[in-house]
Every structure is written in structure tokens, then in C-alpha cells.
Amino acid sequence: MFSPTALRPRYAKWLIATGLFLMLSGCVDKPNTLERVKEDGVLRVVTRNSPATYFQDRSGETGFEYELVKRFADDLGVELKIETADNLDDLFNQVGKPNGPVLAAAGLVSSEQRKKQVRFSRSYLEVTPQVIYRNGQSRPTDAGDLVGKKIMVLKGSTHAEQLAELKQKYPGIQYEESDAVEVVDLLRMVDEGQIDLTLVDSNEVAMNQVYFTNIRVAFDLGDARSQSWAVAAGEDNSLLNEINSYLDKVQKNGTLQRLKDRYYGHVDVLGYMGATTFAQHLQQRLPKYEQHFKTYAKKEKVDWRLLAAIGYQESLWQPAVTSKTGVRGLMMLTQNTAQAMGVSNRLDPKQSIMGGAKYLAYMKDQLDESIQEPDRTWFALAAYNVGSGHLDDARKLAAKEGLNPDKWLDVKKILPRLSQKQWYSKTRYGYARGGEPVHFVANIRRYYDILTWVTQPQLEGDQVAEGNLHVPGIDKSKPAQEPAPL
């Protein structure tokens, strides 16, 4: 047996060793937020599913905030993981949660209330809150004119805070806050007359005004404000400092301005160009590419006139165009689509038409066998425009509504709902500009009908054949094999 006195030296040594271990352990700092991001190899970001922030189109993930934060993740050398919040309150609550997003990039404006929850980066975009009304209605000119109007804004937004302040001066102002809508929904509701007014930031008005022809800006409600990113509250400045350095860099090297120009500097307008303009392009442009359309349409077993109609809708038969979203060439192929279809140069009209023909055939092949012609063609065109994922979402919503998911007439009624939060929040692929594929298909059908007419060999009489829409460069011989009726 060991006596107590024999144990004391050993016990003392153990206490000293333990104490030294604890002291040394205490000297090792825990990794800060930036270090953890780099160690994990992942930047977790929370945002909103909306056209001004983050959504998916046929090019993949896109949106102003997505593009900006993706470049930040690339700079850090880490993977970007995006999460979307159901509403603004949820977004702020998620920032800084254990194993949750460390950054919110969602077009956020700083306010005293929000500063209690998060810390904001330097500004990267100046926006102005604007009062939106419907054309044809009495135009409000100041805050007093908001009294007696039906107003709705996003729940938890700075616009709601503005209205709360105004209500103190004008008690008659009544408004509703909703977390079941997004900005696009609010603009649509004004456009359709469901509400009288809403408040939206100027950048989102500019981006969406072309889709809502009845909305107008009544007046600016206050001065311009800064949009920033947000990180968790606390004393850890590591990530915030890195963000500010990055935003300074993209401001100086022009990246930020290019993104602003791409998303807010101009707006694509989808629309029918008119019979006269189309006739001019038939004579001046189509003959240069007609044989390519015929060659690759025959190879992929599609109607060359349909392929030509797609080319006209996409680029007006111009081989060197590039859209704001980066799709290029006569058939406006994305980089990923071009690579998948074996196109090495999207600006080569022959390659572009080849890629477009293969992609259209591929889209048709991917559709369920239950979809028959002519609907199969319209579905393939819609998928060509918006992507097969969003099309599947619309078909599932149609089925839930008791409509036929295999009929274009039914599904085209549902597609525009993909831009409404109450609907896209229930889908797998989320927000889409669902009205665009509907217009896309309708326009192509118009162009196709004209092309079909001017290429028919059995036109009755020379007067019809030599009219304004006939082009000598178009081969009028009957196709070797007539396609299924469309």
C-alpha cells in the first residue's frame, strides 16, 4: 500500500501538469468567422428568391445578388451555398445561427431596427423608395395623398417602417404588410388593380416595369438609400472586413458597374416586331442562313421553319448578338448548352443553328411520352426558353389545379404563376419569369405561321406569292416530309 505522504508529490505534479495544460489551452484562440469559412470550404449565404436577388433561369442560377456574392466566394476560394428565406424576418433570424448562413445578400437597406439584429457592410448600390400606382388612376404627389388608399408592402421591410413613421403624421394612412408576397407580386397587384399603391425600390421598378405595362412611379418617398450585405451581430469583424475589402475592389475594377448595367441598365423587351419589319428581315437576313436551318433541321427531324422562327425570336437572325444574361449568337445559346451540344463558337451562325436544332430535339426527347403533338412542340419551346425544371413545376401545379399537365393551353395558364411567391414557394425550382415562355411560344408561332405561308408551293396565284411577305431567296418547293401539324 501507498502511504498518503507518498502520493502527495505525484498528486502535486498532476495538478501542475493539468494547470499548465488548461493555461495553454486557454491561450489557443477559437477560429474567427472568416477562418471557419475557409476551413469549411463553404460560404453559406441567405437571400431572397426574386428577380433582383436570386433565381434560376435557363442559364442556371442568376440574379444581381447571386452574381455579386458568387464572385466573393470565388475570391475566398470556397464553395457558395445559397439558402432562401421565406420572408425578411426569417432572413434576419437565420444570419449567424449555428451551422447557418454567415452572410445575408438580399438587397438589404440598413435601419435602426435592423442594426439591433445584424451589422451591415459598406454600400454597393444606391436605391430610392418609390410609390407605385396604376396608370389611369389619380396620381399621388405627396405623402398626404396616401390617405384612403389600399396599400400593401413586404412584411418586415424598410418600406413598412417608412409607412409607420408617416402614419404618425397622417393617421388616415392604412396599409397591409404581407410575408406571402414578393416585390413582383406587389407590382402585379398594382398593375391589375388589386391594390392602389405599393412601395418598391427604384432598381426593382426598373427591372420589372416592362412586364407590367400599367404601373407608374408616383413619386420618390425620401432620399436615396444604400443597399448592403449583413453579417451577424457581435465583435467578430473578420468576415465583415473581408466583405468591405471585396466590395471596394469590385467598385474600383469595374465589376460592380458591369453587374449594375447588366441587371438594371436596360431591359429586354420580348414582343412581336410587326409584319413589315419581319418581311424586311425575311428578304435581307434569312437567305444567308436558310440552308443551315434546313440542313440541321432535317438532321434533327424538326421543321426548319420552326427552327428559323426560334432564331428570329432569339436574335432577329443576327449572329453576333449577346444578351445581358450572357447567352450569345443567332440561336442565343448559353455557354453550358453550347458545350453540351458540341458548339465551340456561339457566334458562328452555322454552329449556333446546329446547336439550336440539337437542343430543341433534345428538349422534345426529354418530355414525357404522354405529351403528344402539337403540344409536344409547344412544351419543347417553353423548355428551350425557361428550362425543363420550371416547366415541370408548372405541369405539377396544373395537375394540382385539376388541369391537364399534357396540354399547352392548360399549362400556359399556370406558367405565369411561377413569378408569384404564393405559387413558386411550393415548387422545386422556385422563382421564374413564367410569363416569358408564354410570350416566347406565342411569338414563335406567329413567325412560324408566316414562314409556313410564304414557303407553301400551292399558293393561289402569283399576286399572293409575290406579295410583301414573299422573299425570292426562300425555297418554295414542298418539304420532303411534312412535319406533324402544329
Residue 370: which residues within 8 A CB-CB, separation 6 or more?
406
Mapped onto helix, strand or coil, the DSSP state of residue 267 is: coil
Name the β-bridge partners of 46: 83, 104
Cβ-based burial of 82 (10 A; exposed 0-12, middle 13-18, buried ≥19):
buried
3-state helix, strand, coil in the chain (%, to 5): 50, 15, 35
Residue 331 corresponds to which cell in the numbers above?
440561336
Residue 38: which residues within 8 A CB-CB, separation 6 or more?
76, 77, 78
Residue 440: which residues within 8 A CB-CB, separation 6 or more?
270, 313, 381, 382, 384, 385, 386
Active-site residue flag, 192: no
What length is written for the chain? 486
Tell me which of 314, 401, 436, 482 is the catalytic residue. Answer: 314
Name the β-bridge partners of 54: 49, 50
Q: Which amino acid, one-letter code, is at 152?
A: M
Q: What does 4-60 look like in DSSP terms, one character per residue?
A: HHHHHHHHHHHHHHHHHHHHHHHHSPPP-HHHHHHHHTEEEEEE-BBTTTBEEETTE
Q: Where are the alpha helices (DSSP H) in 192-303?
A: 202-208, 238-252, 255-260, 275-284, 286-300
Q: Scanning the structure block, which residue is given the C-alpha cell 466566394?
A: 73
Active site residues: 314
